Amino acid sequence: MKNSNANKALFNRDPILKVTGLNKVFGRSKGFFGKSTSLVQAVTDVDFEVYPGETLAIVGESGCGKSTTARLILRLIEPDSGNIIVDGMDISKNDALELKHLRKSVQMVFQDSYASLNPRLTIGQAVMFGPRTLGLSIVKAREIARETLSNVGLDPTRFEGLFPHQISGGQRQRGNIARSLAFRPKIVVMDEPLSALDKSIEAQVVNLLCDLRDQYNLTYVFISHDLNVVQYIADRVLVMYLGKVVEIGDVGSLFSNPRHPYTRALMASVPSRDPKIRTQSAPIMGDLPSPINPPSGCRFRTRCPYAEDICGAEVPLLTPQKSAGGNQVACHMEKIGSGHSKGGILDE
Amino acid sequence: MSDPLLEVHNLSVLFSNAGHEIHAVRNLSLTLQTGEVLTILGESGSGKSVTLNAILRLLPENGTTVSGKVIVDGQDVFAMTNREVRAYRGAKVSMVFQEPALAFDPMFTVGYQIIETLRAHRNISIDEAERRALELMELVRIPSAKVCMRRYPHEMSGGMRQRAMIALALCCDPKVLLADEPTTALDVTVQIQMLVLLRELQRELGMAIVFVTHDIGVANEISDHVAVMYAGRVVECGAALDVLGNPKHPYTKALLESSIHGTDRGQRLPVIPGAPPDLAEMSQGCSFAPRCALANQYCLRELPDLRPVTTNHLAACINI
């Protein structure tokens, strides 16, 4: 329970990353004859904070906006509105200097290790590239690259001169991690860093990520759909559904006492650990609705077993729950007098 | 026990291209009884998909050397003429692929493609085929099936497309359904729906399923029997409760131990060192030996055969 104690100390500090009112709509362009084309509401009103040294996991199904959120944090895509404050500096406005600061202190590791390395650069050159752009000499950059490579478990004398296609997927992902760490960032955003790896390699990389977090004092924003990995690695968890945050909280209380019906369904959908115990019926039916015309009110209501009229009429706000260990939940059932027949029932 | 529905004897698949040889599958033997779910569990490159493709004779003929025997319902699949193979595919054995978006033709509606398949295999009228297609769509629990029949694949969600894919595979009441990672492309909430559906369909229709996956959790949910593959060979097989509940082969053990569970939080994860071997450079010994904690000089010298641990639980390791 080392982690929960660490967390309490963390909350007293200032956040290293603060995101407020983040919005992104894709497909804004007007169609033929000025007709508006369909808009994809990828991320809607997302707020969260990340404290130094902690790992915030963002979970949700594909299309829920988790990767978009990651890209917005790095300004790889431009937000429509909202503020992103990294280390006290608002980087959501377009300014080259601030962007340079951002890229130095926030780095990203992508899912596809092959696509995210330049095929014409050796691993050594790819890792050197970052320090070089920061203006370091070749000698110094090479030194940093070699050190970083050996810290991710790639022997520099062997791997420095190899091209991405010459090494295995696990080694490539290590190379990618080294590439991002060569900037000596404060925050590393990881978008499904494990999902392209073989099962027998996964544990190696998770151990490595935990070691590096301690070694470099890193803060992780960890995007994953694998709840087992999330529970293992994260300090806090943010659950997204169709572009909105439905629940956010401490990993311990979120996994032991999930509040939002979607969080509960997500957890119940994880396949069994034991062949003797099998899931008898699916926790929720249907697929994620299209984000082009998301349901009114609570976006989960079309799949929610508890949905009532109020859920379609009013958007539930993310509110902290005293009894849920400070977790914030966006559900009408959480509030007495919200108009839902089960309003406040979870608090009793 | 009666004759098995599907028997694979000493199947080997060798891909050769410009002097490079890859032993994708080596001496694989499997049996499958009616109404049974056999899971082939393995990492990418372990030969699980190649095995499925060999059963359906879908492997390219150029540069591929296949040896061994596949017997389905008493018929030798490799001895069939092309005409017989066409009748065999879909009717006796059919397949559900990983990516339903790629398995459907984007130019035709889902309903049309099911009707077309029905009419290709059976001498029935369009009306009759339409009725049957609707039945199939309802069988796989597609809501408002009538509307969905007229949809194009891209108009359906991933889960619905995979259901339609299963409906297509069930057109001719196959005895064996081959499922190649059918849930890998799906989200967890949809994956569990699909696993429950496949289990229900298997019970209702009494068919057998060969289910390929790399996910231990998925194997836990669906399997009666499990065969664990590593580098083209089956290293352990038996009842799911034995193989997944009480694994004997060092690879299966290590794979289960190193799989990440949230409750292990705070403890360092046990890992399997190294990476899966390159199939082009196979040693003569056990292919897991370089990564195995128990390996000794004998492991590097000869390939271990599958030997019984208990009556129906086999493992290929000389150290057991």
Residue A201: its chain B contacts at CB < 8 A? Answer: 272, 275
CB contact under 8 A, A278 and B220: yes
- pLDDT (tens digit per residue) in A173-210: 999 999 999 999 999 999 999 988 888 889 999 999 99
Query: Which of B183, B260, B278, B288 is the best mutation test for A, with the most CBs of A within 10 A?
Result: B260
Reported as a single tens digit per residue, the pLDDT across A27-67 is 865 556 656 667 888 999 999 999 999 999 999 988 899 99
Say whether A255 and B262 touch across the interface (CB within 8 A).
Answer: yes
The rounded Cα A165 to chain-centroid distance in angstroms is 28
The beta-carbon neighbor of A228 closest among B44, B221, B261 is: B261
Residue B179: exposed, middle, or buried by beta-carbon count in 10 A (0-12, 13-18, 19+)?
buried
- What residues of chain A lie within 8 A of the CB of B241, using their CB? 275-276
Contact residues on chain B for A255, CB-CB shorter than 8 A: 262
User: How far does A300 lie from chain B, in Å, by closest CA?
Assistant: 13
Chain A residue with Cα closest to B215: A199
In tens, the pLDDT along B241-285 reads 999 999 999 999 999 998 888 888 889 999 998 888 888 887 788
Mean pLDDT of chain A: 88
Bridge partners (DSSP) of residue B89 are B93
Kindly determine whether residue B188 and residue A255, on different chains, have CB atoms separated by under 8 Å. Answer: no
Partner-chain contact A269 B189, CB within 8 Å: yes
Report the residue of chain B nearest A235, measured CA to CA: B265
* Separation CA B43–CA A239 (nearest Å): 29
| Facing A2 at nearest CB: one of B43, B258, B266 | B266
Beta pairing class for A17-26 and A89-90: unpaired
| pLDDT higher than threshold 80 for residue A299 | yes
- Is the ipTM beyond the 0.90 threshold? no
| Structural contact between residues B170 and B205, judged by C-beta atoms closer than 8 angstroms | yes
Q: Please check the confidence at residue B99 and state whether its pLDDT lies above 90.
A: no
How open is the CA angle A161-A162-A167, to the nearest 5 degrees? 155
Average per-residue pLDDT for chain B = 92
Closest CA to A245 of A49, A53, A83: A49
The H or E element containing residue A270 is none
Q: Does A264 touch chain B (CB under 8 A)?
A: no
Tens digits of per-residue pLDDT, B50-63?
999 999 999 998 88
Give the span between the Cα atoms of A60 and A246, in whole angstroms.
10
Q: Is any Cβ of chain B less than 8 angstroms from the Cβ of A270? A: yes
Please list, in sequence order, all residues whose beta carbon lies within 8 angstroms of the beta carbon of residue B97, skipping any fewer than 6 positions away: B103, B165, B180, B182
Distance of alpha carbon A243 from alpha carbon A225, whole angstroms: 15
Compute the nearest-CA separation of B215 from chain A (Å): 8
The reported pLDDT for the residue numbered B19 is 81
Contact call for B187 and A61, based on CB within 8 A? yes
Q: What is the pLDDT of residue A323?
A: 67
Say how many C-beta atoms besides its own lie within 10 A of residue B116's C-beta.
16
- Check: CB of residue A12 under 8 Å from CB of residue A54: no
As a whole number, mean pLDDT of residues B69-76 equals 93
Is A61–B261 a contact, with Cβ atoms under 8 angstroms apart? no
CB contact under 8 A, B271 and A203: yes
